[in-house]
Structures are given as structure tokens and as C-alpha cells.
Amino acid sequence: MGQGDESERIVINVGGTRHQTYRSTLRTLPGTRLAWLAEPDAHSHFDYDPRADEFFFDRHPGVFAHILNYYRTGKLHCPADVCGPLYEEELAFWGIDETDVEPCCWMTYRQHRDAEEALDSFGGAPLDNSADDADADGPGDSGDGEDELEMTKRLALSDSPDGRPGGFWRRWQPRIWALFEDPYSSRYARYVAFASLFFILVSITTFCLETHERFNPIVNKTEIENVRNGTQVRYYREAETEAFLTYIEGVCVVWFTFEFLMRVVFCPNKVEFIKNSLNIIDFVAILPFYLEVGLSGLSSKAAKDVLGFLRVVRFVRILRIFKLTRHFVGLRVLGHTLRASTNEFLLLIIFLALGVLIFATMIYYAERIGAQPNDPSASEHTHFKNIPIGFWWAVVTMTTLGYGDMYPQTWSGMLVGALCALAGVLTIAMPVPVIVNNFGMYYSLAMAKQKLPKKKKKHIPRPPQLGSPNYCKSVVNSPHHSTQSDTCPLAQEEILEINRAVGLLDHLPWTARSAPSVLPCPFTCVSCPSPLL
């Protein structure tokens, strides 16, 4: 029987679009759904219309055209106008392995997974700041009991089997935690976020003003020291910070301490809380103030030494600027971009290190060409006395800063300097677009996640109820003769959807996914005694 034989042809209607091919073409990929259409008894297992002599599948017709071409050509391409998850579902339905996608289309196929991974990388700090949450009724409320239940489940705070919070503590712990952790969870959380932002800005401003000479007047001090024969009075002058700046910093520290303690007490996972770098920064920025206040009244030498050290490490207060990442999406995006671009940064450092080493060596020997005959070191006429000094010049030149503190003075050195500047521009320009693209991707995904509407619960088909017209109805009376068995009350496609919804489909072999004779029914009824999976 050749391909030209009329009986060898088969018509497949997918989503209203008729596709015609040969049965031998469908047999090229054994074990797939289309290959089963070429079997002699396929009419009894699939939705077959004898009048039109065609099989019907209510699937995406555009994707099916690419899948059918895969049977014809042996090359599976991914359409650019189809969303990745949809294409992935279609491949799973037709029994095609995703690894068969051609390399030219693999990046297009993987785009949706990269986007999902990028969205998941934002962690538990939701980016949703929609106006719906602005009408929340209480701290941590989103205005919906279902949202509260979902938050409780997400934080693993529910002990009851039905997922409802149990007890006063279980009910309020996620609310208070969201109040201080997620600025977009409720209206009151926004108020707390604004207060935290205000104190952060005030604390940083105070830190900067403390270094200004206007707020550090010189005062005369007297100190009585004990000596062997009695006491000795010592007079000295010291810069002393204005007291009102210390009081302002104290008020800010009180707020940060309150905020930190509330987050510690109501945190659902203390271990993860301790591991978080932002929480470590909070603690390190608060601790020196209390140590300084506690040691300020002591006069021992050891206490003064510790006090002097604490005054030096006051710079850790500037780390509070990182707390702004909780309130600004752009800063979180920047942090994710830096982490995602680690390989590019390492590549950039390697390129710069190689260039610095090469051009520092070249400039050192190039400058020695113009040395005077009576100069034994050959370096009196140039700034480049040795190669390590040339490292600084090479870094400044390759990054196109050009401070001008060191510059070549010979024609050969100028030539090396020109090459160094050009190499620096090219070296830095190569990894930078990748980093910029990462930032653009993360930022666009963050903006999209902000505007995501609240998802509705996914519909899962229910079995026919007792007393309904279709309960255990025979397929003889059904217009779709080949999609239901004589004993199962549900259509094959409904069973597949239910299995997919409850996560059972991935554990079944392909033969069990489509063959009604071996596909177990997930329900128990009078005429379908198959037990519930």
C-alpha cells in the first residue's frame, strides 16, 4: 500500500482547522498520540466523525501545524507567536519530548521558564502594590479572608487539616509579620514603611552632618589623672559632636530597635531571618549605638579604647541605606541583577586584570626607551619607576578615567597609552550589554509582577453527581462515540485534565495517558468500580 492510496490518508481536525497527512507519516514517532491514530482500532479510542471521515481534537491548531511538520521533516521548531507554557502543554498532550526542540528555537522555548525563574527569584517579598490592597481593613489584611488563608499556608503557620489558622497567635503572627516585612500587604504596612523610610533618611542625614566641622566644635576639657605622688590635672582640646544630633540618632535607633524586635518575634522562620543579609545589617547598625552609650560613662583606659573604636566604626550606620531595598522595586531589581550577572562581572575583572598586567609592563619598558645615557635606572625622566606603579596607570586608562597624575612622556609610551585606552573601551563594552539586558529583563518582570491581577482559583472538572442526567451514562447515547468508554462517567479529556490538576499525570506512562483501556478512572461509581487514585 503506497502513500498515494486513498485509505492511507488521514484527516485530523484540530480546533476547527483540518490537517491532512499519511498514516505512514504519523508512524515515524511511535508511542505518541498521533502515532496511535494510525492504528486500525483508533476510531474506537478517539473522537472520530464517520461522516466527515476525520478525527477531532480541541487543541491549538497553530501549534499542531508545527508538531505535524515535525512528523514530516523530523525537526521540531517553536513558533515565536505562542507563549511558552502553552507550547509546553501542547507538546505534553501530543506526547512529544521537549528535548526534541531544535537548537535554533531552544532559547525561544526556554524564555518562559527564564521569566518564571526570574519572578521566583524575588522571593517572598511580593511586589504587588495594586490599589485593591489600599482598602485593607487591618494590619496585614488584604481585605480578603482567602488571602489571609493563603498567606497562612504560605508561611506554614496552619496546624489544622483544613488550613485555617488556629488560635490568636496563629491568626496575628502572619499579619504583624507582613505589616513590617511587606510594605504592599496593606494600608497600615504602607504607613509603617513610610515611617521606616523617614527614619532611614533622618539617620543617614545625621550621620553625614556629624562629620561637618560646623557641628563638631572644639571644646576645652580637663581630666584629673592619678599619679604616684597624688593627682595631676591635664588640659586638652577635643572635637565634640553637637548633642542634638546624638538625640536625633537615639530616636532613630529606638525606632529601628522596635522594628527589628517586632520582625524577630513575629518571623515565621527564625533561621532564615538570621541568614538574611539585610537583617544582619540592621543588627550591626544598631549595636554600636548601645555599646557607645553604655561605655560613655566609664573612665577606664580599656573603656576609652573601645569607645574610640566604636566611634571609628560608626560608618556601619551608612549600611542602613540598604534597608531601602524593601521599599523600592528598582533597588531590589539592581540586587538581583548583580547576583545574576556574577559571571559577567568575573569575566570583566579577568579582562581588566589581563589588560592591566600587559599594558603596565609595556608602558614600563616603552618609557625606558627615552632614558638619558647618564641615568643608570632609566627612570628619572618618567613617572613609571616600576611595573607595580604602572598598574594604577593602566587601571585608570583602561576605565577611561585619566586622572593625569601619571602620563607617558615618550612617543613609544604615548603609543602604548593609546592602545591601552582603546583596549579598555573594548574590554568594558563586551560584558556591559549582558548586564544591562539582565537589568532590563528583571525590571520589566518586576513591573509586570506589580500589575498582575489577583489569580482566580483554577477550575477542576467535577464528576457527574448522583441523580444528574450524565451520571454513569452510556456512550451509546452520547454524540461523541469515541471519547468515552462504556463504563467511565467522564470523558477521556476530562480525566486527563483532572490527573494533570492533581499532579498524577506525570507519574503515568504515555500509554496510560491516552489509551482509555488502561487509563484508570479517578472516580468511583456504580458502573465504574475503579477506585479513586
What is the mean predicted confidence (pLDDT) over 363-387? Answer: 75
pLDDT at 460: 55
User: Residue 57: which CATH number?
Assistant: 3.30.710.10
What is the DSSP-derived secondary structure letter of residue 42?
A: G
Q: Domain count for the chain, please give it.
A: 4
Residue 158, domain member (yes or no): yes
Residue 239 — φ and ψ, nearest 5°?
-80, 130
Q: Is the model more confident about 463 or about 17?
A: 17
3-state secondary structure 374-439: CCCCCCCCCCCCCHHHHHHHHHHHHCCCCCCCCCCCCHHHHHHHHHHHHHHHHHHHCCHHHHHHHH
Q: State yes or no: pLDDT of 34 exceeds 60.
A: yes
Read off the pLDDT band of 123 (50, 70, 90): low
Give the Cα separation of 23 and 10 in Å (integer). 6
Q: Are 363 and 251 part of one and the same domain?
A: no
Most confident of 199-213, 362-376, 461-475: 199-213
pTM over 0.75? The answer is: no
What is the DSSP-derived secondary structure letter of residue 531?
A: P
User: Residue 408: which CATH number?
Assistant: 1.10.287.70
What is the DSSP-derived secondary structure letter of residue 16?
A: T
Q: Are 49 and 163 part of one and the same domain?
A: no
Query: What average pLDDT is seen over the chain?
Result: 75
Q: State yes or no: pLDDT of 132 exceeds 60.
A: no
Q: State yes or no: pLDDT of 109 exceeds 70.
A: yes
Q: Are 268 and 316 part of one and the same domain?
A: yes
Of the residues 69, 102, 120, which one is the last residue of a structural domain? Answer: 120
Run of H or E including 507: none
Closest CA to 140 of 329, 323, 255, 268: 268
Residue 332, domain member (yes or no): no
Residue 334, domain member (yes or no): no
Of the residues 98, 120, 142, which one is the last residue of a structural domain? Answer: 120
pLDDT tens, residue by residue, 157-190: 444 444 444 577 888 888 898 888 888 788 898 8
pLDDT at 410: 85
Give the Cα separation of 78 and 103 in Å (integer). 10
pLDDT tens, residue by residue, 226-272: 777 777 777 777 777 788 888 998 999 999 999 999 999 998 888 88
Residue 528 — φ and ψ, nearest 5°?
-130, 85
What is the mean predicted confidence (pLDDT) over 337-344? Answer: 85
Q: Are 146 and 295 part of one and the same domain?
A: yes
Residue 335, domain member (yes or no): no
Residue 308, domain member (yes or no): yes
Residue 503, domain member (yes or no): yes
Of the residues 68, 87, 120, which one is the last residue of a structural domain? Answer: 120
Read off the pLDDT band of 392 (50, 70, 90): very high
pLDDT at 421: 93
First to last CA, the chain: 44
Residue 73, domain member (yes or no): yes
For residue 294, give its domain range: 129-327
Q: Is the model more confident about 462 or about 177?
A: 177
